[in-house]
Structure 1
């Protein structure tokens, strides 16, 4: 009797265990079930992130409504931060932590100032930090300029060691630092000997015993920290290249979203460290910080090359994010003339290798949709038929409603067909030069080219009628002046009298329409360069007007665009430059714009007039099948 009861109990326990195992298996994501690995029930889970495919982490809907749903990654991070806050509060309640609070408050104020302040204020803050670093007896109290103190005044604390509206003090910390990334050590040397780092590199603090030596938990930014200095660099870079904008300005959250997942990939982390340190150093004109980013750049390139040779890693989002960050790096530093074009062509090949279905969700979706003008621009520069013209690439990434197509994307749906027309023109010219084809074959090629140009021209005109003429916020307007400062004044010729005049500038209701119209003018110019039809072609006067319209739009965009969104007009500006007469007053204005953008936004690419992104025939090296 007892044995029967024991057997029944063992059988019941085995049944419960099997049921638990089955339930646990059913609660895992599809990828973890297929791979038969443990799933942590976070969306995306750690296993999917580690394999570089977070967008493929999908959970089946539970049959039982009372069953717990998988927690999102953002909620998990929020819960961890709340737990850290609670632990920090418990630690602080165990003893006197006033000194730690003061130091943390100082760091947070310095962080916010460097993140949001103008460059002259940032330079002043850096100078004061260096002055405190060079003081043998500890950090000195240095006066602020009166105007900066007024702009960044704060309530003065009771303790004299805390930053007030007239002084800046960084209290020293004497605990040692463990070296983590030797290549970036010079950055921390510029900032401190108070625990941020040593000449060995970015550091993590080690707590020690004693009333004056302890570790203050928690980062000073919302990103996962490696050091406070690196947090500042990355935050500054993200704010510049992925600013917070509303829908009317166009989306700009791809790089910001990539920064949130960098802790899952050492390659992404190194890429962010390199590009952010380089950008920060160039922004504050500090060659040591800039050099530290440059020193890490070859390591990122080697990691990327290794990933591209791996069939699995080459399809991961980490590889795509890294290539995008390297494009941003080259826009800042421009190490060689062909580097940014090479990275853009490489990104095109990655998109083709990954397929449209892998850009429906997550960071991959944002990288494709938000930066689509760059990818289509690379196809124009390549002058080869592009896979972006396939119907799948026009529909599949938006099929789940992650984002919605806007006026710019509908324009790009037409633009993606231009590379094939450019290739037809180049092929026709090569056939004429070689003399291999007969007259009949040449006429057939020319007729096909003319039909393609006519069809695209009609599509452009219809798009303008449907989207621009009926734009909800209103069409562009002409104004005499947009400000009283010394912004470069655009001058051009009156084509009726050939006299030099100062035309009115174009003002747009929002940045999205401004960018879209500049892309429209530029692509019309590119298409007109191969329009050899005897009738209905774009005349030289119309080409001149299209180029001048891009120039007339620059002031509006430069005044309103936050961060480095001006990079979105790089291709239109280069196309306008090539369409304007050499040595004319128009190009003089463009040269002033190039210098202004290079200096104000720390973008070396603009200072070179950007010949590497020229869509002219024979300009760049070609990539077959792009």
Structure 2
């Protein structure tokens, strides 16, 4: 019996059908040519390297080329080779040195060569043909374009030209002489005398600089984006941003400025710290140019840079209002980008992980926030990149608070100016009270639904002890007026600790405008909410890795405003602020108690 030829499987047809497109999803959607590098040139040029995603394909030749993967491999081989060279004194040392020169040249080519060249270079590595066949090294940084040429490694361009590029203003670029700050900076990071470095050309200069910067960036990332599990709260946004910094000159400069300054501050070396400061104006100029460009202002690199400058201000606190200014700038940029641009990759992580900052910033300016719109509560999570947890369900409620603060301020101004009739005032007052009552009820319901049934259990009360580094919190007894040490809160994980501190803070801010004749939050209840934050500080500060403690900056300031000036509570908080500043090298946590984070109406008027 003859089989129907249409039903006979054809291996050639099956093989052809199984092969998928070699272009990334974005290029296929936009119907443009893809160079199959990951991330590809088109995605990098549009400022969205993290969106460059490829479908899995069965054939090795159809796999995208990963620059990041090859860079990691080369770094590991260079590190091992340097260790062998340091231990050897025989004839093979010269051979290893030559191999090291080749690897370093290849590393620079992969790291920063034009994307049209990277494909063939990586293929040479993967096919194990051996040797360096293309000495492509940068003659200037990527300043919105690629400025490269294939030259011999014995050429030695100006060091200032390597750092600044052909069109850069040299007045704001630190010198690279071995006797200057920059030379000392690299010597500290590499652990060796910079004068012992080879002077055989461009590659030796770059090999002295880049490992040092990488050390600083890694230390900064470990501090501000520590690797934690979801029960501690996600903290990988800046780590993910660091992995794509090579594809954006703006992000590269921003990471260098912030990480160098942070490293200098953490090791208390003023010269290193000053080197980061000198790079800061260049980053600000680059950011300003990006914000003026209609397309680049929505790019991933622009958002990352704004967040990095926020981190820089938390470290250095260059002005009393620097942190608040960068938070407001980030919020305006996020609104301009729209919720659809925060569904994937680094952009999604930056929006969701730092969402408490954006809401806290809206409360500080006491103005209605776009974050209260339904699309901002749903669209960023619609792709399933992450899912909402106990914290984000709380933040959904907190987005309503800034609008109520604005209504309260408007009502008070109208009342003082006597521009409305008594009936109109009564109607507006009743409407405000109803909204406050409704939101307060939602907060209570959230606690019953999420905290009382928390899978890992509730917080526990533990006795405070004085034989430890952390200050002892003193609470007042309103009946006797005496101060006593209450129990402190111990939580099953950091996520619940952060969430509860924010819950206390949001309730406190809302209660500041609660003037209802009945069922209002009383002054004693406000005091207990503030004490809840203070009783949680030790657990979070002594448990949180890196600089995750910044996540409690806003609740700490809110608690500060709830206590009298000369009470034992304020004394405790001053000691805590100084402890954090000392342990974490964060200028934000100074004795000024982070006044730029204040949510009080009089503080807002003074800022204006």
1:430-476 alpha-carbon deviations (Å, 9 max, x no partner): 10011111111111111111011011100000000011111111111
Q: How many residues align?
A: 516
* 2:35 corresponds to 1:40: yes
Tell me, which stretches of 5 or more residues in structure 1 are unaligned? Answer: 1-19, 105-174, 209-213, 220-224
The equivalent residue for 2:550 is 567
Matched residue SS, 1:478: strand
User: Over aligned residue pairs, what C-alpha RMSD do you find?
Assistant: 3.7
The equivalent residue for 1:549 is 532
The equivalent residue for 1:493 is 476
* 2:397 corresponds to 1:397: no
The equivalent residue for 1:189 is 184
The equivalent residue for 2:261 is 278
* 2:236 corresponds to 1:240: no
1:270-315 alpha-carbon deviations (Å, 9 max, x no partner): 1111111111111111110111111111111111111111110100
Alignment check: 8 A CA contact 1:389 1:417 kept:
yes
Instruction: Identify the range of structure 1 (77-86 vs 424-433) with the bigger mean alpha-carbon deviation.
Output: 77-86
Structure 2 distance, partners of 1:308, 1:198, is 41
| Distance change in 2, residues 1:514/1:33 (3 Å) | closer
1:80-107 alpha-carbon deviations (Å, 9 max, x no partner): 5446767999999996138969xx9xxx
Q: What does residue range 28-177 of structure 1 map to in structure 2 within 5 Å? A: 28-29=23-24, 31-32=26-27, 37-57=32-52, 71=63, 75-79=66-70, 81-82=72-73, 96-97=92-93
* 2:242 corresponds to 1:293: no
The equivalent residue for 1:263 is 246
Alignment check: 8 A CA contact 1:482 1:556 kept:
no
Matched residue SS, 1:503: coil
Q: 2:353 aligns with which of 367, 370, 374?
A: 370
* 2:566 corresponds to 1:583: yes
Deviation at 1:68, TM superposition (A): 6.7
| Distance change in 2, residues 1:289/1:89 (3 Å) | closer
Q: 1:619 aligns with which of 580, 603, 608?
A: 603
Which 4+ residue blocks in structure 1 deviate beyond 6 angstroms? 67-70, 83-95, 98-101, 193-200, 214-219, 621-624
TM (norm. structure 2) is 0.77
* 2:500 corresponds to 1:517: yes
Structure 1 distance, partners of 2:279, 2:197, is 19
The equivalent residue for 1:609 is 593
Matched residue SS, 1:404: coil
Alignment check: 8 A CA contact 1:382 1:621 kept:
no
Matched residue SS, 1:604: coil
Deviation at 1:581, TM superposition (A): 1.2
Structure 2 distance, partners of 1:441, 1:480, is 52
Matched residue SS, 1:97: helix
The equivalent residue for 1:131 is none
Deviation at 1:78, TM superposition (A): 2.1
Instruction: Identify the range of structure 1 (407-416 vs 86-95) with the bigger mean alpha-carbon deviation.
Output: 86-95
The equivalent residue for 1:136 is none
Deviation at 1:56, TM superposition (A): 4.7
Matched residue SS, 2:174: helix
Q: 2:461 aligns with which of 458, 478, 483?
A: 478
Structure 2 distance, partners of 1:266, 1:197, is 28
Deviation at 1:191, TM superposition (A): 5.0
Alignment check: 8 A CA contact 2:475 2:484 kept:
yes
Deviation at 1:375, TM superposition (A): 1.0
| Distance change in 2, residues 1:244/1:193 (3 Å) | closer
Deviation at 1:563, TM superposition (A): 0.6
The equivalent residue for 1:527 is 510
